[in-house]
Structure 1
Amino acid sequence: MDDEAVAAALGAHLSRLAFADRATDDVTELLIASVVDWAVASGWRAYRRAASVVPLPPPYERQFSVVDVGIARPGAAPVVVEVDHADRRRTLDKLAAEAAAGRVALWVRWGTGRFTAPPPPVRLVPFPVISRRGPAGPKVHSHTAGSDRPAPSHSAPVADFAPEPMRLDPEA
């Protein structure tokens, strides 16, 4: 499976998720758990908070950053997945370093609006949600499974409608 096919398969899996009025951290956690479920269902090993190839900045340069999910695939390049609702430069830099190390780098971006595709070889997996202010004030997010479905057909075309002529009877 090539990098594009891996990204498309993950996107198809995530599109089946449905939730309503979830907090930001809850949505991120739900997406990470769903990525792990997808990997395991594909017959791969998945690791949450897997070690990255990117060292942390000083004074922690002897330690390494982590990726949200690391996936080991027998006979194929490993996959690393970052899940973000913000367009963070550090995430892009980390994924580019992972790709340079021979891993398939996937960026699950979720939120409202448009998502700008990162430069190759990082692959974008967009996950659009609807956001609104919740009753307590903070934003809450919702997603309907299969939201890319076409609109339903209507019961009868407007052209088939023939109204009755209107009669005005001043005596009635």
Structure 2
Amino acid sequence: MDVMERSRRATASLQRYLAPLEFTDWSAVRVTAELTRQVVNWGVEHGWRVRREVPSIAGLPGPHPDRPGYLDVVCQRLDGPPIAIEIDRTDKQWSSRKLLCEADASAIPLWVRWNDAKTWIVPDPIGVVRVPTTSRRVAGRLLYSRAADEHPRRTPTTPPVPPAEETVAPPPAGPTRPRARCSAVTAKGQPCLIDPRPSGLCHVHDPAVQCGAINRKGRRCTIATGGGRCTRHQDVDGPGAGLFDRPDTLL
């Protein structure tokens, strides 16, 4: 199976996975963080080893070959080439260049593009996963929303109106339960806004899905990988090594 066909199938799979996503008045940073979390979950559910902020698999041409680009997410698979994924709000030609280099190295290039995707033109074999949103300014801040009727898997329907004698009044509205958030604090001292795992911590702060290797300074590596070792410590044995080595059967 060639790179173009693999890219097409991976794009369709990830597009379906992100279809139910909805939010209202989120900042650009929060939208990108949530999309990254969803992409990581997509890879983990397929049984792949998922890593974030990975140095480019392919060597990048240019005047500074010693400065590799970084990919937002990489899914490593036993039954096929890795999937290199970029997540962007704007038309970043640097992202396109990185993904084309990955395609030349036989990796599957995917570009998750959110915001207004109407004018985006991306060269083959890069697969584009489109997440259209709307935006508005609130107190000087540009916030983004994604409504339920924009989801391709959801078709609005009009239910039949019951007879008057069967109409039942809705129950009184009760207090709204606050949405759970990660209990950790970011490096800037702010509360983490990412949804938590069962442990109460998100996929970035939960030690169970971090690298966990002991570095040269005797400290534990906290790079979020989705499980398993990071690039620097991938040859280190110990707890967490070999996670997500189940072959994928969908792509």
Indicate the TM-score class for this superposition, using the shorter chain for normalisation. 0.7 to 0.9
Question: Which residue number corresponds to residue 124 of structure 1?
Answer: 128
Letter in 2 for 1:128: P
Over 3 Å off, 4+ runs: 54-58
- Residue type matched to 2:93 in 1? R
Q: What CA distance in whole angstroms lies between the structure 1 residues aligned with 2:68 and 2:61?
A: 5
Whether the 8 Å contact between 2:6 and 2:108 is mirrored in structure 1 is no
Q: Which has the higher strand share?
A: 1
Does residue 71 (structure 1) correspond to residue 75 (structure 2)? The answer is yes
Does residue 151 of structure 1 match 2:151?
no
TM-score, L = length of structure 1: 0.80
CA contact (8 A) 2:117 2:130 kept: no
Residue deviations 1:70-104 (CA, integer Å, cap 9, x gap)? 11011111001000010111111111011111100
**Is 1:103 the equivalent of 2:104?**
no
Provide closer, same or farther for how the CA distance between residues 23 and 73 of structure 1 changes in structure 2, counting only shifts above 3 A.
same
Identity rate of aligned residues, in percent? Answer: 31
- Conserved? CA contact 1:81–1:108, under 8 Å: yes
2:145 partner letter: S
Partner of 1:114: 118
* RMSD between superposed Cα atoms in Å: 2.1
The change in CA–CA distance for 1:63 and 1:113 in structure 2 (over 3 A counts) is closer
Query: Matched residues in 2 for 1:98 and 1:89: separation?
Result: 14
* Equivalent runs, 1:19-168 vs 2, <5 Å: 19-52=23-56, 53-55=58-60, 61-134=65-138, 136-145=139-148, 147-148=151-152, 149-153=154-158, 155=160
TM-score by length of 2: 0.56
Q: Which has the larger radius of gyration?
A: 1
Say whether the 8 Å CA contact 1:67–1:81 is kept in structure 2: yes
2:32–2:88 Cα contact (<8 Å) kept:
yes
5+ residue gaps, structure 1, are 157-172
Aligned AA for 1:88? K
Structure 2 residue matching 1:64: 3-state secondary structure: coil
Cα distance in 2 between the residues matched to 1:113 and 1:65: 24
- Amino acid of the structure 1 residue aligned with 2:83: V
Corresponding residue SS for 1:114: coil
User: 2:21 matched to which residue of 1?
Assistant: 17
1:128 and 1:75 map into 2 onto residues whose CA distance is 32
Deviation at 1:25, TM superposition (A): 1.2
CA gap 1:38/1:107 in 2 versus in 1, 3 angstroms: same
